[in-house]
Amino acid sequence: MRSAVELRHAHRLLNHGPTVLVSTAHGGRQNVMAAAWVMPIDFEPPKFAAVIAADTLTRELLLASGECVLQAPTTLQVDATYAVGTHSGRDGDKFARFGLVAEAASLVQAPLVAGCACWLECRRLAEPNAEGAYDLFVLECIAAWADDTLFARGDWQFAANGPRTIHHGKGGGFFATGERVQAARG
């Protein structure tokens, strides 16, 4: 079940550095790409930074609509994640081609990718300098959701034998989010 996550907890959804899918929509077109280079940059309102290369359809749709969804795919979605990271939506709709299902978001036109662990509906905060120099976009999260079997009580609840978020190494080699290690109070 997809449940709302309080915005003050939204940074925790990506705090551990998982690979993200960025979905966008504008003018009857929609797209999804994989991005390893996405991170929180502020708590409340929650903001995120994402690198989105200059020639991508995702960037075109993000600039046109001012919106996107960031979502963390799971260990059950590594093939589709790698595929949407290595093919362009300019060559045909990637949802259909790679078996991803688009569902309606609550506040943005960009779709939610079904089966992910969490979803962050975002609007672009225009930063032309950072976008131009580094392909770096600043996004404010305006609605957040998580699969409540995976994220509950403001924290991830991964089971060793269940789906977990993933972290890209190189060339389609991912690492699952591993076991919990609790630090002592310093």
Residues that bind its own copies (CB under 8 A): 12, 15-19, 36-42, 47, 49, 51, 75, 78-84, 86-87, 98, 127, 129-130, 133-136, 138, 154-156, 158, 164, 166-170, 172-186
Judged by CB, which is closer to its own copies: 44, or 155?
A: 155
Q: How far apart are CA 177 and CA 180, in angstroms?
A: 9
Smallest gap from residue 89 Cβ to its own copies (A): 13
Q: Give the CA count within 13 Å in the CB-facing half-sphere of 84.
A: 30
Q: Are 31 and 61 in contact (CB under 8 A)?
A: yes
Backbone angles phi, psi at 30, to 5 degrees: -140, 160
Smallest gap from residue 120 Cβ to its own copies (A): 15
**Residues in CB range of 152: below 8 A, 6 or more apart:** 3, 146
Judged by CB, which is closer to its own copies: 25, or 139?
A: 139
Judged by CB, which is closer to its own copies: 2, or 127?
A: 127
Judged by CB, which is closer to its own copies: 36, or 143?
A: 36
Residue 183: CB atoms within 10 Å: 5
